[in-house]
Amino acid sequence: MGELVKKGFIDEEVLSKIKEDSDLSHFFQVKGRKKAKKSSSDVERNSEGYDNHRCCARVWKHEGGLGFDNIQCNSKNMIEPEKAESILRERDLTTEQEESIEGYLSTYDGCFCKKHLQIDFLMPNRYWLGKVNEPRPENPKLPLGSLKKGYTDEYKEHKWLFDSEGNKVEKKPRKKGGKKSSPSGLSNDEKKEFQEWKLAKEKAEQEKAEQEKGEETDEMDEEVNDGELDSDPEEILDDTPYIVDGITYKKHWCEEDKHFVILETDDYSVIGVPNDEGGIDFKDEEDEEKHKAMIAKK
């Protein structure tokens, strides 16, 4: 509606009249409803019992990289066994996969949503987090790849937030000092800058996500998207390539200081931090000179 005002289709006065009209009010409640649903925290969700009216997949939600082990997929659109075959065939399958459909379906009991059914079938060792009504896998390993591009048999290990006795695992703080890759050599001002940069970035991302949510149809509700997995759920914690002036560095999340740093790819030394322009705020002149020298060499 705000857009309509901006574009001049309606004015503020009309907008407020529309909003006050009780017959129309339900049009404006979608966002609020979604937000309310979202507000049940991961901690709460993790403490809930199994709901057999929802997809039984355990989903990956984490706190500082450690996963909750009892969060159930929100989707109520479970795929009945009779419909499962056509759902699986929606994907591009290899001959080998096509041949394994029958065997797979003989064990399928109808408890997955569309997304988790497909993932369960396509992951090399079935859905990596299993079902919430079955014991958790003690060493969950996420196969690299995605539902869209297919999975590989390379894995990334993940850790639970709770040990096998249910006690919360405390992450050991990393040792300070000594290691060159620790950015503790940065000044307090710089640290403050990172914090601000990070907050701004998070806010922008959150706003973007909300906007996209709003544009989705009901079919694509939170339920279906909730199961992550089209991308690595720990994306933010993983090193990602960071290319500046054609030179590839690594963007690394520094858990200790809660900000990103840029590392050199050969010895993982910290050379600076990402800046708003997609460049690097170099830690010192020496690092900047080195970068310039590398550009010159290209």
Shortest gap between Cβ of 194 and Zn ion (angstroms)? 36
What is the rounded distance in angstroms from the CA atom of residue 92 to the CA atom of residue 99? 13
Cβ nearer to Zn ion, comparing 55 with 122: 55
Shortest gap between Cβ of 77 and Zn ion (angstroms)? 8
Cβ nearer to Zn ion, comparing 121 with 194: 121
Please report the DSSP string for 245-287 in residue order. TTEEEEEEEETTTTEEEEE-TTT--EEEEE-TTSSEEESSHHH
Residues ≥6 apart with Cβ < 8 Å to 2: none
- The residue type of 31 is K
Would you tell me which residues interact with Zn ion (CB under 5 A)?
Answer: 55, 57, 73, 75, 113, 116, 227
Cβ nearer to Zn ion, comparing 55 with 270: 55
What token pair was written down for 222?
Answer: 């939170």
Using alpha carbons only, how large is the chain's radius of gyration in Å?
24
Shortest gap between Cβ of 40 and Zn ion (angstroms)? 17
> Other C-beta atoms within 10 Å of 12: how many?
8
Between strands 159-160 and 66-67, the pairing is: parallel
Helix (H) / strand (E) element for 152: namely strand 150-157
Cβ nearer to Zn ion, comparing 120 with 232: 120
Secondary structure tally for the chain: helices H, strands E? 10, 10
Shortest gap between Cβ of 227 and Zn ion (angstroms)? 5
Cβ nearer to Zn ion, comparing 219 with 277: 219
Shortest gap between Cβ of 277 and Zn ion (angstroms)? 40
What is the rounded distance in angstroms from the CA atom of residue 105 to the CA atom of residue 90? 15
Cβ nearer to Zn ion, comparing 223 with 232: 223
Shortest gap between Cβ of 73 and Zn ion (angstroms)? 3
What token pair was written down for 98?
Answer: 């096509």
